[in-house]
Amino acid sequence: MLGKKLVTAQKRGETRALCLGLGMVACSMMMYFFVGITIVPFYTSSVWTTETVCKVLKANIKDKVFCPNSEGSEEEEIFPYPCLQVWVNLTASGQEVMLYQTEDTLERNPKCSYVPDKLENSKEVKAQIETIASNFKKYQTFPCYYDPGGTQTNVILSRLYPSKGLLFAFLWPTLMFTGGCLIIVLVKISQYVSVLSAWQ
């Protein structure tokens, strides 16, 4: 009687462990799919792939511009922000080009090197942009990314999804997939040992 209860409890534990392993594998596949349709296209479509050294030539704050996200809306004139333009000397080619913060900055407003995320407080935004401009004037040389193919003549300060970020995005689903497969293998080994012991 006690042996039957132990066997039943063992089967239940194996079933739960098997379900856990299969669930982890399924979740990892969903995470792979999510990363594949969100991060990977942005990474592969970016042409700024080669890192070089940029030297600041000038960093000026121009007249205020309107928030590009509110274009065509009634709130268009509520969120103007100072337009920071940073021009750098590209070490790889010696050209004078304009610097943008990321790939997204160029799409949002090609006239400005930096587009603030939050535009609620105009004083904070102005102070933030002035701080960024002073930092560029203070630190004259820094790494940047350019397009080796020559499609884009400008450069960016940092990539939205660098290689390390892409690897980190795939790390968690890989660990979950490996853990799920390991649990399934251990359950199958346990079942095989149980059957072999019963047969003997």
Give tens-digit pLDDT for 98-115.
999 998 888 888 888 998
- pLDDT of 178 over the 90 cut: yes
Give tens-digit pLDDT for 17-74.
888 889 999 999 999 999 888 888 888 878 888 888 999 998 888 876 665 544 444 4
- pLDDT of 190 over the 70 cut: yes
pLDDT on residue 74 = 45
- Between CA 44 and CA 36 the distance in angstroms is 11
- Between CA 90 and CA 87 the distance in angstroms is 9
- Between CA 105 and CA 173 the distance in angstroms is 30
Q: What is the pTM of this model?
A: 0.68
> Who wins on pLDDT, 6 or 61?
61
Sign of the torsion angle spanned by Cα atoms 85, 87, 90, 91: negative
- Residue 189, class by beta-carbon neighbours within 10 Å (0-12 exposed, 13-18 middle, 19+ buried)? exposed
* % the chain with pLDDT above 90: 22
> Who wins on pLDDT, 87 or 200?
87
pLDDT bucket at 4, cuts 50 / 70 / 90: low
- Between CA 54 and CA 17 the distance in angstroms is 54
pLDDT on residue 73 = 42
Q: Which run of H or E residues covers position 170? A: helix 163-199
Q: Which two tokens stand for residue 15?
A: 């079933």
Q: Which run of H or E residues covers position 71? A: none
Is residue 28 within 8 A of residue 180, CB to CB? The reply is: yes
pLDDT on residue 175 = 93
- Between CA 132 and CA 200 the distance in angstroms is 76
Sign of the torsion angle spanned by Cα atoms 129, 131, 132, 133: positive
Is residue 79 within 8 A of residue 106, CB to CB? The reply is: no
Average per-residue pLDDT in the chain? 81
Lowest-pLDDT range of 5-14, 43-52, 80-89: 5-14
